[in-house]
Structure 1
Amino acid sequence: MGSPDWSVTLAAADPAVDPSAGYEGFIGWVLTLMTDLGEVGVGLALLIETFFPPMPSEAVLPGAGFLAYEGEMNVWLAIVAATLGALVGAWGFYAIGALLGRDRTKWLVEKTPLLEVEDFYKAERFFTRWGGLAVLVGRCVPIVRSFVSIPAGIERMNFWRFSFYTTVGSAAWNGLWIGLGYGFGPVIKPVLEEWSGILSYVVVAIIGLLMLWFVVVRVRKILANRQERPVAR
């Protein structure tokens, strides 16, 4: 009768624990994505956020910091991965601006529901005035960070200069939020374990209300402009 295989016995008695287990809703989804893919998942989340701003990085990055606190990933690699994801997304919008050019981009804005050509002019004036600083600071402003790359592409800003400013701005933003999640890990862990489901509903509700507010304001403005427009005889 052979001796028991203690490694198998111990593995069966102490199975690996998924650090995202027990967390619900949006928070659980974010933690699961980053747990399954590690630092790559952090970069993927930031890439998605670039093209889908309603999934804010402010709600995603602290989760990466929390997992780093839990020992599931390296905090510095998480910041690097997040920055690379943001940079790749920014390259995509830069390419769109460069390929379409000013006139076609302006036409696309005019034809897109709930967008106004004045939005295009404001972005254009902002970039013309501040150049690289607009890209650098814009990476730290919600919504703006997704679209500031378009006027940079239209103006054919030097690609490497654009990439440098994008990297610096993104690294600062990502480092701040990941650092907060890491630093406050001991505090937020019991809160997430107890209230992750409710907090997820709150995050989704806030995002939904902000989107609804944007739609309502834009629709009211469009209707007001139509009423003020003189009727052709």
Structure 2
Amino acid sequence: MNAMTTTPPASGGGWLGGLADWAVGLMETIGAPGAALAIALENLFPPLPSELILPMAGFAASRGSFSLAEALVWTTLGSVVGAFVLYWVGRLLGRERTRRIFGALPLVAVEDVDKVEAWFDKHGAKAVFFGRMVPVFRSVISIPAGVTAMHPAKFLGLTFAGSAIWNTIFVLAGYYLGEQWHLVEQYADIFQKIVLVAVAAALVYWVVKRVRASRSSRDQSPSA
């Protein structure tokens, strides 16, 4: 394998830029497993954005540091492992203690945690799947799944499916954009809004379908 000869520019300055540089160095040092470790930590520390790390992994693959298949497999593995750790944190510590822990993290508001919990309470399994494609939700959604003791196999399956879709989009974007991988971040918010609109549309369709089925059942039932 060829090492990356140049370090891609980090997005922004300050501590976030430093974290981005650290993620690049990790991939340069230990290859694709470094991308998995960075993404696993992104799950545990939501302010570290996957919208930066995943395109970096794609860029590294385009430079020959590891293959594209390795980038996809390892980043998805990292997402699943990180999410599963948080699932067990929620399951073992309970709602209040995990809520206090997340509330103490920089750039994570307790209100965000409450919104994720409300979303999970309302949508359950769908929240776990689609939540993998929404910032902050992506990490925090594992907590209520653990607190409510969702079956581990079901949680892992939904997490794998949602993570695989999200990771593939951003890794491929970084791979094909090459040196311009950082442009992906500019469009990440648009993609996330598309996901939210799709989720809302699916929920509206489901509600309408249930209402129609209920009315049809009443119309077909014999009158007293």
- Smaller-chain TM-score range? 0.5 to 0.7
Q: How many residue pairs were aligned?
A: 175
User: CA shift at 1:29, angstroms?
Assistant: 3.9
Give 2:49's match in structure 1, choosing from 56, 69, 91: 56
Measured in 1, the distance between the counterparts of 2:128 and 2:7 equals: 39
Deviations for 1:21-42, whole angstroms, at most 9, x for unmatched residues? Answer: 3556545543332121111011
Aligned ranges 1:5-16 → 2 under 5 Å: none
Q: For residue 188 of structure 1, what is the amino acid of its counterpart?
A: Q
* Structure 2 counterpart of 1:142: 135
For 1:93 and 1:126, the matched residues in 2 are separated by: 17
- TM-score, normalised to structure 1, is 0.65
The answer for the alignment partner of 1:71 in structure 2 is 64
Provide closer, same or farther for how the CA distance between residues 18 and 143 of structure 1 changes in structure 2, counting only shifts above 3 A. Answer: same
For 1:120 and 1:188, the matched residues in 2 are separated by: 33
1:83-108 Cα offsets, whole Å, 9 max, x none, are 111111111111111112345556x3
String of CA shifts for 1:66-125, please: whole Å, max 9, x gaps.
12112221111211111111111111111111112345556x379858844x55543332
In structure 1, how many angstroms separate the alpha carbons of the residues matched to 2:129 and 2:32?
Answer: 24
C-alpha distance in structure 1 between counterparts of 2:174 and 2:103, whole Å: 40
Letter in 2 for 1:64: A
**Corresponding residue for 2:84?**
91
8 Å contact 1:109–1:120 — kept in the other structure?
Answer: no
Q: In 1, Cα distance between the equivalents of 2:131 and 2:85?
A: 16
- Aligned-pair distance for 1:178? 0.4
- Of residues 175, 178, 185, the one that matches 1:182 is 175
Q: Cα deviations across residues 49-76 of structure 1 (Å, max 9, x unaligned)? A: 1122222111111111112112221111
| Matched residue type, 1:75 | L
* 5+ residue gaps, structure 2: 11-16, 187-224
Partners of 2:142 and 2:102 lie apart in 1 by 19
Distance 1:53 1:101, change over 3 A: closer
- Give the residue type in structure 1 aligned to 2:142: S
Q: Conserved in 1, the CA contact under 8 Å of 2:75 and 2:167? A: yes
Secondary structure of the residue aligned to 1:123 is helix
State yes or no: 1:19 paired with 2:11. Answer: no
- Closer/same/farther in 2, CA of residues 66 and 100 from structure 1, 3 Å limit: same
Q: Which structure is richer in relative contact order (CA contacts within 8 A, separation 6 or more)?
A: 1
The answer to whether the 8 A contact 2:23-2:35 is kept is no
Matched residues in 2 for 1:170 and 1:142: separation? 12
Question: Cα distance, 1:148 vs. partner?
Answer: 0.3
1:132-190, CA deviations, whole angstroms, 9 ceiling, x for partnerless residues? 110011011111111100000011001000000001111111111000011122x628x
1:80, 1:45 → 2: CA distance?
A: 14
* Other-structure match for 1:123: 116
